[in-house]
Amino acid sequence: MSGADHPVTFAAMGTTWWVQCDRVGLAGRAPPLVAQLEAALSRFAADSALSRLNRDREVVDPVLREVVQLALAMREQTAGAFDPTLGLELAAWGYDRDFARLPAPSGRPARRLARLAVGVEDDRVTLDGPGALDLGGIAKGWAADRAAEALRAAGAAWVVVDAGGDLRVSGRPTPLAAADGSVVIVDEGGLATSSTLRRRWTCADGTGAHHLLDPVDARPTAAAVHTATVRAASAAQADAWAKALVVRPALTPVLRALGGHAWLGDTAGRWWTTTKEAA
């Protein structure tokens, strides 16, 4: 890119990050910022604010509070198709550590627990009932949003952040790739892809599993749509909606009404967008 600083790549939140902006040396501020956010939001670090919340059922942390509030808002916006309260069920299926360290076979089929109640007051987050929070992808998207905003505030005219496929662009039109191979021009906002074709494993009893659970029964979703790419106002919103549309493809009119856009692929080999529905 013309006038661009050298991109910075680093590992965080279980994936590879790529950050570029137009100010020399500024992208180097992203890794420590993301590391700080990961320290609060990781499900796999025993001393993170999220792990302490799941263990102790109460924690005071402003970063965690902000992401939990966003996750709960996205659950409401997606009519429950995106649900951050399935952490215990996801772990029971076998996804109980960073995916790169996940053995095979692992876990067992799980069932939906009673609804986990999540309370937020000031910076205090509480849990009531069985279960655990899993902020996974939405935390990654939120961190990408924060990194882009921090670099813009520090003087960058434009920024591109790629958090393992959760993308945030700010300041200039940038071509990005959707899952069907389409090129999407984004000048401000986020793009994210979710798919049942990735992060798959086999349980100890031979049952196949993947990381996208249907909140109704806590089983890996068997919806016909296997992949969704979503463009939204932020990377965090795009990530939540991409997961929601794989679980509930019928929610596409809601996304359209909110100004978002999606590209979806199904098991019949069809691809379509929210402006041209499949026949």
Residue 106: predicted pLDDT:
67
DSSP, res 61: -
Residues near 2 by Cβ (< 8 Å), separated by ≥ 6? Answer: none
pTM: 0.91
Q: Quick check: 231 and 190 in contact, CB under 8 A?
A: yes
CB atoms within 10 A of CB 236: 28
- pLDDT of 142-164, one tens digit each? 999 999 999 999 999 999 999 99
Q: Quick check: 224 and 239 in contact, CB under 8 A?
A: no
Residue 105: predicted pLDDT:
56
Q: How confident is the model at residue 279 (pLDDT cuts 50, 70, 90)?
A: very low
Domain 8-273, CATH number (from 3.10.520.10, 3.30.565.10, 3.10.450.50, 3.55.40.20): 3.10.520.10
Selected residue with higher pLDDT from 235 and 273: 235
Report the pLDDT averaged over residues 249-272.
Answer: 94
**Share in percent of the chain as helix, strand, coil (round to 5):** 30, 30, 40
Strands (DSSP E) contained in the chain are 8-12, 15-21, 58-60, 117-121, 124-128, 159-163, 166-177, 183-195, 200-202, 208-210, 213-214, 219-220, 225-232, 261-266, 271-273
- pLDDT of 27-81, one tens digit each? 999 999 999 999 999 988 899 999 999 999 999 999 999 999 999 999 999 999 9
Q: Quick check: 239 and 139 in contact, CB under 8 A?
A: no
